[in-house]
Structure 1
Amino acid sequence: MQPETENEECIIFQQLDLFSQGFPIMEEIRRQGKLCDVTLKVDSQSYSAHRIVLAATIPYFNAMFTHDMVESKQREITIQGIDSSALEALVNFAYSGRVVIDSNNVQSLMVGASFLALHKVRDACADFLKRRFHPNNVLGIRSFADTLCCSPLVEAADKYVQQYFNDVSLCDEFLSLSQNELIDIVRRDELHVISEEQVFEAVMRWVKRDPEGRKKNLPQLLAKVRLPLLPPHYLADRVATEELIRSSHECRDLLDEARDYHLMPERRSLLQSFRIKPRCCNYVMGHIFAVGGLTKTGDSLSTVEVFDPIVGRWQLAEAMSMLRSRVGVAVMRNRLYAFGGYNGSERLSTVEVFDPQKRVWNKVSPMHCRRSAVGAAALNDCLYVCGGYDGVTSLNTVECYSPDKDEWTMVPNMIRHRSAGGVVAFEGYIYALGGHDGLSIFDSVERYDPRTGQWTSVLPMLTRRCRLGVATLNGKLYVCGGYDGSTFLQSVEMYDPILNQWKFVAPMNVMRSRVALVANMGKLWAIGGYDGVSNLSTVEVYDPNTDSWSFVASMCAHEGGVGVGVIPICKD
């Protein structure tokens, strides 16, 4: 209790706990059956209540009792479309503000809350279901949410399906989808798959659940699978030998189109663009691995640490077999690759790969060239390394690695020699941004089209940058930090391919040269770097919804100069 205002003539008194004390008393009066003026009937159950309380707390009854509807004067009102136990719980909620949600009642409560326009209760039920998503139930929950027009729950279920597509595709709910529901899923750009093989196999499992009834749907489904992204050996050994495909003229045409993509590059421009566009899921939750890098005194490290987003901290992981700073890092098929780097005495051509399931690093075939300050990216079934420094000169050479063959091939050189540039896969191209040639620092950008085998200059950045971070998120390309020849940078730029335009977004909180940038959980993570005085262990995160950066847990074992990759967390 307190006076709200005071002057010489009057005092206004306000009892702040009046309402919180009053409603329990009304609840007790109702429990005693006193002063009740309406009875709600559902099925064979009846519940007495007070019109004024229901009208004040439940929008459905507010409309009923205050707009001269027939029910506004009836002593007994029959309610249709709500489970009796849900109505009882929600009427009790009107008096207490409390409702218990559990696995047994959540769906009936959500139906009742939607019917009565209790949006906060409905949203609480939706949040309860979101926390219990599983590959076995997410499609059923999505269908339920769709019937209630609960868009946030539908969108959350869609994101879960896209993030854990392969796990979902192995469950009975997936195999029970209608043809249109399946097409709606497999056509999406946002599916997170290790390779397009997982989409093909999912479609074939669905068809083979009822071969006679579903084989007629296969051509339309196969048209949504990006067959040209499948490796040639898989097309020959798996797709071409599938009897359901061999027996369909339309399916054979799609297979021939994919074969032509690999055998006749000159015809690739004739393909529909979506068929050769890699899928990309921007909101995957993954473990962030920081690889190699530098100590405070500038020595190279073999140390690896990993950030677990669930617990929110960094911890040591298995070290590489070699010291590597200025190392190139990329992720393919949930494996982390470390390319080249500097071991403290020489530039390296060696490559090693980390298997998170076995928790071991293994060497694979070395690159043709020694490279430190090198950029790397994964596109389709290949890993590309671009430019770098071999100890004598900045490089413009580019190599392509096939994990299936454990083999490196040289591809056409970049237009510019680029050391300490940014390299990233974006919309079916390999982009190389900024960097230097030993004399000049660039704002220039070029991209490689694997369909034509050519590098093309594209719109330059707004700022010259070497030692920059680069990543993609939500169909945009971001660069951050770096060094322009005189200043260590904290500025951040974003490229919109639709507008063909670069623009500045919110700068980082600190200057970061030699910064690593990755996308994880729908945000950008700027990791480590050098601010002109010290190597950095700090990490900050950019939220595109708020255009702001905030600090998160710092690395525990590195002081900047790391290579970084994200391995998605598998769903049990």
Structure 2
Amino acid sequence: MADADYEPPSKVAREDEEDIIVNVVDDDLCELYRRSGVSFIEFSKNKDFMDAPPADIKLFLERDDLMADTEEDIYFALERWYKLDKKSRLRGFVGALQSIRYALLSHHAVIPVTNAIFNACARKWTKDLREEISNYWQGFERNRVYSKLNNPKPRISYAEVKNYLYVLGAPKDGSQFLQCYDFGSKSWDVVKEKIPIARTEAGVAAFEGRVWVAGGLSANTELRPLDSVYSYDPVAQTWKVGANLKEKRYGLGLAALDDKLHAVGGANQEAALDTTEVYQQSVWTAGASLIEKRYDVQVVSAHGKLFAAFGTDPAQISYHRRTWEKLKSGLTERWEYCPTDFVVARRRCRLVVTRNIMYIVGGDRPETERCSMTEYHCILNCRSTRRPVFEPVRTGFAAAALGGFIYLVGGLTTDGEVVKSFQRFDPGHGKTEDLDDPPIAPGDNVRAVIIKQTILPESRPGPSRT
């Protein structure tokens, strides 16, 4: 639909705490989003959305064409807006909750979303409304019965989203290859331009639509720690030089959270590290220190939190930690222990999160060579252990999650043999499927990330008010 065909609403009434104000919402937030040309998640993090008044937020979230991947993305955008100023926005948050289409929430999002809603504003609700919501969720869990609070009408997305798996293999003969798997065409491709400095035990993460590689050990015979940072731009198909880390480190964890890139733990030439660094606006700054020093640390972001798990010390390689920490935000950020430890201490494993459930996959265990998969629900702190249903059992591999599946590639078997196979594991049904192998065997200490590319049409329809 062309711009001339869009007619914004003339007037929208909203009720404040003391009186009724007639607010002209014409083309403010809706039009800004329509002209931005970005996805919903990107737009919901910018200043226009975060500074919008409650009435505009409510109307905006009622739209059909928000181009969000899931309904929980829409709720968590509303939650971010509310947390910016809880005291003054509580009433607006309660009102905007009516815009969330609870029937579209995935099964795994039901508990965290409802807990967050009740914790935020249960006292502001009337007794009848609390009972209605409680009855609704009980019915939802039992047999998916929809209540009058629900709007099952699906959202519409006019954008095409393409997903790619980027795998950074181990250095070989001074070179290091980045391989790309296209989930749409189900085919592999080798990135022509190699990373300028080959390395192992680096931190790898997806951030700002690019593949970021930080620190690590140089691939030459010296094996010296690095502080250099590079990012691969899939659109330009080139590597870009980033700002160096403040401290040289390898065996670190790298993860993105709240528009920031976090480099966590690792080791230098002397010992394991408990220090962290935060990348924002092209600058690395010192972050909150971990409680424990962690080399070969596994770091993942989930549900607005950053988690650091496992790790060891190069000087005490036989000692594996089974504790994990989470970064607690506030006026002063700090790390705190999670309430329970993992069942098994391990190293060279991988952490992935899908549908709000954290999976710990593979790795080396001190008491036995065979490794299990542990499932940990990062919201309710409930844990269960699964048998290893994917073969071969591996260490030092790469793992990434997409659409409820876990993808595994590369690594070594417990006998030290190189694994080239590429597999998709369904944790819900315990089934493993073999996919096409990558052109080049990734080797040991492999890292992988998912990159999403949103392809927008040349024109987008106007906001829907139905």
Q: Do both share a fold (TM > 0.5)? A: yes
In structure 2, the partner of 1:323 is 198
Matched, 1:536 2:419: yes
Give aligned pairs, total: 341
Match of 1:290 among 161, 164, 167: 167
Pairwise CA distance, 1:487: 4.2
SS at match of 2:359: strand
SS at match of 1:220: helix
d(CA) in 2 for partners of 1:392 and 1:556? 37
Describe the superposition over 1:368-408 as per-residue Cα deviations: whole angstroms up to 9, x where unpaired: 11122211110011011111122321111111111x2x111
In structure 2, the partner of 1:517 is 399
d(CA) in 2 for partners of 1:312 and 1:331? 20
In structure 2, the partner of 1:435 is 311
Pairwise CA distance, 1:219: 5.5
d(CA) in 1 for partners of 2:348 and 2:4? 45
In structure 2, the partner of 1:313 is 187
Matched, 1:494 2:342: no
**Looking at CA atoms only, which structure, 1 or 2, has the larger radius of gyration?**
1
d(CA) in 2 for partners of 1:333 and 1:273? 31
Matched, 1:358 2:242: no
Q: 1:511 to 1:545 in 2, by over 3 A?
A: closer
In structure 2, the partner of 1:421 is 297
Where does 1:32-431 land on structure 2 (aligned, <5 Å)?
A: 193-194=41-42, 196-197=44-45, 200=48, 217-218=55-56, 220-221=58-59, 226=77, 286-295=163-172, 301-317=175-191, 318-344=193-219, 345=222, 346-402=224-280, 404=281, 406-431=282-307
SS at match of 1:305: strand
d(CA) in 2 for partners of 1:473 and 1:308? 19
Q: 1:511 to 1:225 in 2, by over 3 A?
A: closer
CA contact (8 A) 1:469 1:480 kept: yes
d(CA) in 2 for partners of 1:216 and 1:468? 44
CA contact (8 A) 1:465 1:483 kept: yes
d(CA) in 1 for partners of 2:294 and 2:79? 31
RMSD of equivalent CA atoms: 3.9
SS at match of 1:570: strand
Q: 1:502 to 1:219 in 2, by over 3 A?
A: closer
CA contact (8 A) 2:230 2:241 kept: yes
Where does 1:473-488 land on structure 2 (aligned, <5 Å)?
A: 473-485=354-366, 487-488=368-369
d(CA) in 2 for partners of 1:559 and 1:510? 14
d(CA) in 2 for partners of 1:192 and 1:200? 12
d(CA) in 2 for partners of 1:560 and 1:537? 10
d(CA) in 2 for partners of 1:174 and 1:289? 43
Paired AA for residue 320 in structure 2: I
What stretches of structure 1 move > 4 A for 4+ residues in a row?
A: 170-176, 198-204, 221-230, 270-275, 486-489
Paired AA for residue 343 in structure 1: S
CA contact (8 A) 2:43 2:49 kept: no
Q: 1:175 to 1:538 in 2, by over 3 A?
A: farther
Length-normalised TM-score, structure 1: 0.53
Task: Tell me which protein shows more helix as a share of its residues.
Answer: 1
d(CA) in 1 for partners of 2:4 and 2:296? 45
Pairwise CA distance, 1:202: 12
CA contact (8 A) 1:525 1:540 kept: yes
SS at match of 2:58: helix
In structure 1, the partner of 2:349 is 468
Unaligned stretches of 5+ residues in structure 2:
13-28, 34-38, 62-74, 93-115, 122-160, 457-466
The percentage of aligned residue pairs carrying the same residue is: 21
Pairwise CA distance, 1:518: 1.0
SS at match of 1:435: coil
Unaligned stretches of 5+ residues in structure 1:
1-135, 137-169, 205-214, 236-249, 255-269, 276-283
SS at match of 1:218: helix
Greater RCO between the two (CA within 8 Å, min separation 6)? 2
Describe the superposition over 1:457-478 as per-residue Cα deviations: whole angstroms up to 9, x where unpaired: 1121111111111111001111
CA contact (8 A) 2:406 2:426 kept: yes
Q: 1:531 to 1:399 in 2, by over 3 A?
A: same
CA contact (8 A) 2:203 2:216 kept: yes
CA contact (8 A) 2:364 2:371 kept: no
Paired AA for residue 284 in structure 2: W
d(CA) in 1 for partners of 2:261 and 2:277? 8
Matched, 1:448 2:324: no
